[in-house]
């Protein structure tokens, strides 16, 4: 019996995934790594420093930058990203997500946030969703990011639920892997080819309703 939902933020609740991609593309161009849609997909859900390492590696530049220079590049990316998210308002919640979150509350499900983004609290505030979650996993407290299961295990803990009672909601392949390894049910939103490991797949946020989830779960 499912009793709680653990949500990723970027690309699930709001379309900040595109802002992360825009800011990383600038860094990629600066270091001379070719920006591709595949690289963009691979970076989804990945924490800040690991994302930078992946961008450097994709272009064969991993040995060209000192730790200090890497910190600078990551700071620059975040500076650009923070600028891009300044204008977020509750209107930027993805289609259907507010209704879905409200229906979860009405049906007494618990909700947790499982984002590795250090910017998650300010984004939730701008979307007017801070009070919608029982708990937020603090990314600063994590040893490993997605695809490691740690963040989704912690999300179940903040809801005081066993993992098998939790559905994790993700737009990223790394996130789906994290959910599956945590022993939860994975719900992927997006391209079925990229999210093929997900237990339940929805093409977009509008289609995600409690009814549709129940139907897919009995069909499985
Ligand atoms: C999320 C996003 C990633 C981002 C990461 C860290 O997982 O999907 O694209 O790199 O958070 O975000 P931050 O805001 O801390 O740089
Ligand atoms: Mg995401």
Taking only the tens place, the pLDDT of each residue in 137-153 is 999 999 999 999 999 99
The whole-number pLDDT of residue 47 equals 96
d(CA 153, CA 180): 10
How many Cβ atoms sit within 10 Å of the Cβ of residue 72?
12
What mean pLDDT is predicted for residues 112-138?
Answer: 96
What mean pLDDT is predicted for residues 148-174?
Answer: 98
How many Cβ atoms sit within 10 Å of the Cβ of residue 37?
8
Residue 151 CB–ligand 1 contact under 6 Å: no
Mean residue pLDDT across the chain:
97
Per-residue tokens: 65: 């930058």
Residue minimizing CA distance to atom 13 of ligand 1? 117
- Counting residues of the chain whose pLDDT is more than 90, the rounded percentage is 99
d(CA 41, ligand 2 centre) in Å: 10
What mean pLDDT is predicted for residues 22-42?
Answer: 97
d(CA 24, CA 21): 5
pTM, 2 dp: 0.96
Residue 220: pLDDT band (50, 70, 90) is confident
Per-residue tokens: 115: 């984002």
What mean pLDDT is predicted for residues 92-100?
Answer: 98
Residue 115 CB–ligand 1 contact under 6 Å: yes
The whole-number pLDDT of residue 73 equals 98
Nearest to 117 by CA among 89, 93, 81: 81
What mean pLDDT is predicted for residues 92-120?
Answer: 98
Q: Assess contact for 114 and 155: CB atoms under 8 A.
A: yes
ipTM of the complex: 0.98
Residue minimizing CA distance to atom 3 of ligand 1? 45
């Amino acid at each position: 019996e499912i009793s709680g939902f653990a949500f990723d933020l970027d690309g699930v609740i709001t379309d900040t995934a595109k802002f992360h991609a825009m800011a990383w593309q600038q860094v990629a161009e600066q270091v001379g790594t070719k920006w591709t849609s595949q690289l963009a997909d691979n970076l989804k859900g990945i924490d800040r420093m690991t994302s930078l390492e992946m961008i450097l590696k994709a272009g064969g530049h991993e040995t060209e930058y000192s730790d200090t220079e890497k910190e600078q590049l990551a700071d620059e990316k975040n500076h650009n990203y923070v600028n891009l998210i300044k204008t977020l308002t509750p209107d930027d919640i993805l289609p259907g997500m507010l209704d879905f979150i409200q229906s979860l509350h009405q049906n007494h499900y618990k909700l947790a946030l499982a984002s590795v983004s250090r910017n998650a609290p300010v984004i939730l505030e701008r979307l007017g969703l801070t009070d919608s979650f029982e708990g937020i996993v603090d990314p600063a407290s994590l040893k490993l990011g997605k695809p490691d299961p740690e963040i989704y295990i912690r999300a179940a803990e903040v809801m005081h639920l066993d993992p098998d009672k939790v559905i994790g909601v993700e737009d990223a392949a790394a996130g789906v892997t994290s959910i599956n390894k945590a022993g939860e049910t994975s719900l992927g939103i997006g391209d079925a080819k990229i999210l093929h490991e997900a237990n339940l797949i929805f093409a977009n946020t509008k289609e995600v309703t409690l009814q549709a989830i129940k139907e897919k779960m009995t069909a499985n």
